[in-house]
Amino acid sequence: MTAIIDYDAGNIKSVEKALLSLGEDAVITRDREVILKADRVILPGVGAFGDAMEKLHFYDLVEVIHEVSYRGIPFLGICLGLQLMFNRSEESPGVKGLGLLEGEILRIPEEAGIKIPHIGWNSLEFPNRGRLFQGIQDFYVYFVHSYYLKAKEADIVMATTEYGTLIHAAVEKGNLFACQFHPEKSSDTGLKILKNFIHIKV
């Protein structure tokens, strides 16, 4: 069973629908015991970094997420969920992220002459080939974001893309996985990524 963390931050139902289409038992929850008993956990998210962290604290989910990480339960952050896994974001100065991984979230530079937010399909490159991308041939995925990850550790970066700057689009370390793009909106490629996550053993 996959627990999808509910903290009032968007795209939860689309993630659930994608998992159900794969035959996965999925539950949307903020219940501590349900989350900790799950085989895997997903932290989705659309919105602002500071507001999301406020909600996670309000629902007492920060400690639960750290417990998931500590126990080695496979954990996937999607879009804002990826950003929240790191230390800080330029979007919300002074707000502390979950700090599960080392890195910072920066605003996509406007001087590049590109539209912000970045909305649309981009191809991925793979400096390291992570478990989420095994068996995948089509590397186009769907992004919606104005801020991007710059991870501190190069060896955790599994996928990158270019949009005005080099974006760390997916990371993996131990039982922790994250995508800046939306696999649930990325057609068959995204479903394959989610299927890989479902079958990961750590």
* Residue numbers annotated as active site: 79, 182, 184
Q: How many CB atoms lie within 10 A of CB 73?
A: 19
Assign residue 61 the CATH number of its domain: 3.40.50.880
Among 144, 131, 128, 123, smallest CA distance to 45 is for 144
In DSSP terms, 147 is beta-bridged to: 107
Domain range for residue 30?
Answer: 2-198
Among 109, 159, 118, smallest CA distance to 142 is for 118
Distance CA 181, CA 136 (A): 15
Distance CA 59, CA 47 (A): 17
CB 181 within 8 Å of CB 136: no
Q: How far is CA 148 from the centre of its chain?
A: 12
Q: What is the pLDDT of residues 132-145, one digit of tens each?
A: 999 988 789 999 99
Kindly give the confidence (pLDDT) of every residue in the chain, 202 residues in length, as a single tens digit, with 9 standing for 90 and above. 999 999 988 779 999 999 999 999 999 999 999 999 999 999 998 889 999 999 999 999 999 999 999 999 999 999 999 999 999 999 999 999 999 999 999 999 987 678 999 999 999 999 997 999 999 887 899 999 999 999 999 999 999 999 999 999 999 999 999 999 999 999 999 999 999 999 998 7
Q: How many CB atoms lie within 10 A of CB 154?
A: 9
Q: For the chain, what is the domain count?
A: 1
